[in-house]
Amino acid sequence: MSDRYYITTPIYYVNDMPHIGHIYTTVMADIFARYHRLRGAEVRFLTGTDEHGQKIEKAALDQGIEPIELADRVVARYHGLWKTLGISHDDFIRTSEDRHKRAVETIIRRITANGDIYKGDYEGWYLAADEAFIPDSQVKDGHDIESGRPVERLSESSYFFRLSAYQDRLLEWYRANPECIRPRTRYNEVVSFVEGGLRDLSISRTSLTWGVPYPDDDEHLVYVWLDALTNYISALGFGSDDESLYDRHWPASMHLVGKDILRFHCVYWPAFLMSAGLPLPKAIVGHGWWLRDEAKMSKSVGNVVRPDALIERFGPDALRYFVAREMAFGQDATFSDEAFLERFNADLANALGNTASRTLSMTGRYLDGRVPAPSGDGPVPAAAQSAVEGYREHMENGKPHRALESAWQLLKAIDGYIQEQQPWARAKDGDAGMALVESTLYVSLEGLRIISLMIEPFMPTIAMQLRRQLGIEDAPRNLDAAVEWGGLAEGTQIGKTEPLFPRVDIAAYLKEITMESPAADTEKPTEDDLLSIDQFFKTKLVVGTIREAEQVPKSKKLIRLMVDLGEPELRQLVAGIAERYQAEDLVGRQIVVVANLKPAKLMGVQSQGMLLAANVESAPFLLSPDAEVPPGTVVS
Ligand code: MSP
């Protein structure tokens, strides 16, 4: 087994705040990273953000801010969340960083030198939500058949990557490395997709302003997936003066991704790497999706609790445990409050928490808080050995949920042994009874020491608390130590016993959250979400007549308008409408303007208000009165 382990998460789009799906990918990657550290590997763990592309550009425009401002905001949220969740990444890459842009440029130059890039025209469909080019056969009535989401027609000059030339080489790679895509179902999907034939891929865009400049061509920006995938090597210094990290850690041991983005990782990425003459990742692992079972949720509480509320109330480790245990890794699962609470009580408060607190408090009561002489009595030592073996095997085979099952079998064995031996009764039986109390408690404490190692990747904070209570917080931590029975030294003074997970009253909690946050995540607006008429009238909507219009220099989307709102001076507005409207056609047209908005700068040009448009995906449709009215007429 290699003693280096480089693991990555996908880099997250910054058009939205993180949710349970993002948490899942990152927590699972963290669990694998921590597991491999625990077995003694030199681990490198990377996560980050994907900040370019049409989706982000539009989201920023909609909010009236620059894309980098939006990215900064969301990145701050990610940093906060990863800290709270105990994510132990070694690096956080942002695609807006120079080190990344340099690597993208380098890989494109290598691919170009290999003769795999040519210039042409792209005419076809684009699904901005996935930043993906969609073949005609997959589009019906302007919608992507698979996802049902609207697509837009692109017609622009583009650089193309000769993906078609890589079909055979990719198939050879898959066949020679049956473990390179996991689980097997995903491997089969990818192979049959590639067997179906590959078309060359457009790798640049001219109709955007936010992205990595294409090398030696100012008109083009690099297609966001080529840009994003390169993060896995840009964060290692690829293309910089110091490639030592790249030399040390590439190729990656595991790219962990959701199943929706497997194709980009299993087809495009290896083909780019082959063309650039770089080694391929060892494994790409696709996990399933978290679904929300609306019916089940609405039946009991009528709403959904956000992960933030769960973290705040139950601690980050409870959420980490739940997502790792509840989802059979690779398959889909449903996220529900009830399932979370049931697991919390049964697995954490009861099986783990109670077994620990019983053992520790009896050690305090009967043995003055000191670990007794080692013992190997009863079934627990053998149970510990098989639990650790099962645990390791499952972790190596990408089944972390089963690894937890193994650990919980050991907890069950400890608990069963305590029940059977009844140390609280034996303690009354004089010296002979006390000998039994000592051996029972040693076996249980030692079992808990092993448990503290097995849960460490999943619940690092709780694992540390347990170790503190066992009096071994400073002992070295590694998995090999777990298999050696008798690691807990006689005479060790245990720490203060505190419940690891206080049991929760499920009914009371569900009632409480329903009252606290009525319909927090449902579509239905509540009293609090509705505006009073006074609040609505705080927004000043007026009709304006466009007097001047011109495209903002260097921007493909923005038009600068001078609008007559019936005021002494014309108002300057900047609007992202150039994709559907020519500046010169707008003069004389009437629009609806939010007139009392704080001014904002877009591409350095000040906008003193905002016009209203219906947005169909990224295409704006301007709103106007159906007959001409005087400029400044109030809309109400
Ligand atoms: N930016 C791209 C990835 C580029 S990697 C070079 C992207 N970003 S994303 O923010 O949309 O998604 C990031 C990850 O979150 C993906 O692996 C995706 O599968 C995962 N999830 C998003 N929603 C999810 C669920 N509901 N359930 C589980 N994971 C899902 O794609």
* Average pLDDT value for the chain: 91
pLDDT band at residue 618 using 50, 70 and 90 as cut-offs? low
Residue 522 has pLDDT above 50, yes or no: no
- Tell me, in angstroms, the distance from the centre of ligand 1 to residue 491's CA: 50
Residue 617 has pLDDT above 70, yes or no: no
* Residue 209 CB neighbour total at 10 angstroms: 16
pLDDT in tens, 434-458: 999 999 999 999 999 999 999 999 9
pLDDT in tens, 407-438: 999 999 999 999 999 999 999 999 999 999 99
> Measured from the CA of 257, which atom of ligand 1 is nearest?
17
Q: What percent of the chain has pLDDT over 90?
A: 73
| CA dist., res. 371 & res. 413, Å (int) | 20
**Could you say which DSSP state residue 279 is in?**
P
Residue 367 has pLDDT above 80, yes or no: yes
| Arithmetic mean of pLDDT, 593-622 | 84
How much is the pLDDT for 86?
97
Residue 303 has pLDDT above 60, yes or no: no
Ligand 1 interacting residues, C-beta cut-off 6 A: 10-13, 21-22, 24-25, 50, 228-229, 231, 257-258, 260-261, 289-290
| CA dist., res. 268 & res. 164, Å (int) | 11
Beta strand ranges found along 388-540 (DSSP E): none
Which amino acid makes up residue 622? L
* List of residues 6+ apart from 254 with CB closer than 8 A: 5, 6, 7, 8, 32, 281, 282, 283, 284, 285
Minimal-distance CA residue to ligand 1 atom 8 = 12
User: DSSP string covering 414-434, please?
Assistant: HHHHHHHH-HHHHTTSHHHHH
pLDDT in tens, 224-234: 999 999 999 99
How much is the pLDDT for 476?
83
- Tell me, in angstroms, the distance from the centre of ligand 1 to residue 543's CA: 41
pLDDT-wise least confident of 131-135, 256-260, 327-331, 595-599: 595-599
Minimal-distance CA residue to ligand 1 atom 24 = 21
Of 302 and 410, the structure prediction assigns the larger pLDDT to: 410
pLDDT in tens, 335-357: 888 899 999 999 999 999 999 99
How much is the pLDDT for 306?
57
Residue 110 has pLDDT above 50, yes or no: yes
